[in-house]
Amino acid sequence: MTVHHPQTPQFFLTSPSPCPYLTGQAERKVFTHLVGERAPSLLDLLSQGGFRRSQNIAYRPACESCRACVSVRILVDEFRPSRSMRRILARNQDLVGRMGMPAPSSEQYSLFRRYLDDRHTHGGMSEMSVLDYAMMVEDSQVDTRLVQYRLRGPDSFFSEQSDGDLVGVALSDVMGDGMSMVYSFFEPEERSRSLGTYMILDHIERTRNLGLPYLYLGYWVNGSSKMDYKIRFQPQEHLMPKGWERYAG
């Protein structure tokens, strides 16, 4: 009989389901629970092996016939924004981003719903209720932060009470070797701002300011056009069979 130590994580495998990124492929995930005092150190360890967090679950792809999903992390100390990225930073100088504890609000959920209705009408998250959203934000036993991006008000330098409308939100974890962007969403009517790119650029700077070497972006899916944006942030490392390797594509 196998006896599991109470501190030893147990791993489980999901049943096959249609892949949301590649037509005709089936996805499976291996996952474990992040609970108790060891949750932060376990997430650090699992992130090195390509796992991602969703609430109190750490998971990674375990597909039988496909290896298109590749874990990506940006080398923040070496990163320099491209000319187009500098234009995006300049375009969003009228925004202020404030990082705090993960506390959900009705304002965030309204923005979340507008984002899903515009971008992901048929995705797995499309039916999320306000309670589901609150759990996504709050249900964490690791060091999780919420960054809210608002229009800068006349007195935003002195008080956040002066901040204007909410245009973007990022849920991120702070780990031993970097930050990990868990989920982000933004105002779909502000397309000209390129807010998705802007929030990544802002997180690169936040990670650098924390003295940490990596910003984890999750999975780049080779062959999925909606994941191509992750390749733009160079230099970066990809998790390959022999470990993390600098991407030279």
Backbone angles phi, psi at 208, to 5 degrees: -60, -40
How sure is the predictor about 121, in pLDDT bands with cuts at 50, 70 and 90? Answer: low
- The mean-pLDDT minimum among 67-76, 128-137, 218-227 falls in 218-227
Report the alpha-carbon distance of residue 136 to residue 84 in Å, rounded. Answer: 32
Neighbours of 121 (CB within 10 A): 8
pLDDT of residue 122: 61
Residue-wise pLDDT for 51-97, tens only, equals 999 999 999 999 988 999 999 999 999 999 999 999 999 999 999 99
Residue 158 has pLDDT above 90, yes or no: no
Please answer whether residues 185 and 169 qualify as being in contact, where contact means their C-beta atoms are separated by less than 8 angstroms.
yes
d(CA 138, CA 38): 18
Q: Please give the mean pLDDT across all residues of the chain.
A: 91
Tell me whether the omega of the peptide bond preceding residue 235 falls within 30 degrees of 0, making it cis: yes
Alpha carbons 92 and 13: distance in angstroms, whole number: 42
8 pLDDT tier (thresholds 50, 70, 90): confident
CA-only gyration radius of the chain, Å: 18
Q: Which domains does the chain have, with CATH numbers?
A: 12-66 (no CATH), 73-246 (3.40.630.30)
Report, as an integer, the average pLDDT of 7-22. Answer: 89
The whole-number average pLDDT for the span 103-113 is 97
Whether the Cβ atoms of residue 233 and residue 217 lie closer than 8 Å to each other: yes
The values of phi and psi at residue 142, to 5°, are -120, -175
> Residue 3's pLDDT is what?
42
Contacts 24+ apart (CB under 8 A), 27-30: 27/61, 27/63, 27/66, 28/61, 28/62, 28/63, 28/64, 29/59, 29/60, 29/61, 29/62, 30/59, 30/60, 30/62
180, 216 contact by CB (below 8 A): yes
Which residues lie across from 180 on neighbouring strands?
A: 173, 216
Report pLDDT digits (tens) over 193-211: 999 999 999 999 999 999 9
Q: Is the pLDDT of residue 125 over 70?
A: yes
Mean pLDDT of 141-158: 85
User: Over 50: is that where the pLDDT of 149 sits?
Assistant: yes
Strand-pair category, 144-151 with 166-174: antiparallel
| Arithmetic mean of pLDDT, 208-237 | 94
State the pLDDT at residue 2: 45
Joined tokens for residue 63: 């597909």
Supply angle C-alpha 236, 143, 53, rounded to 5: 60
For residues 219 and 52, the answer to whether their CB atoms sit within 8 Å is: yes
* Residue 65 confidence (pLDDT): 85
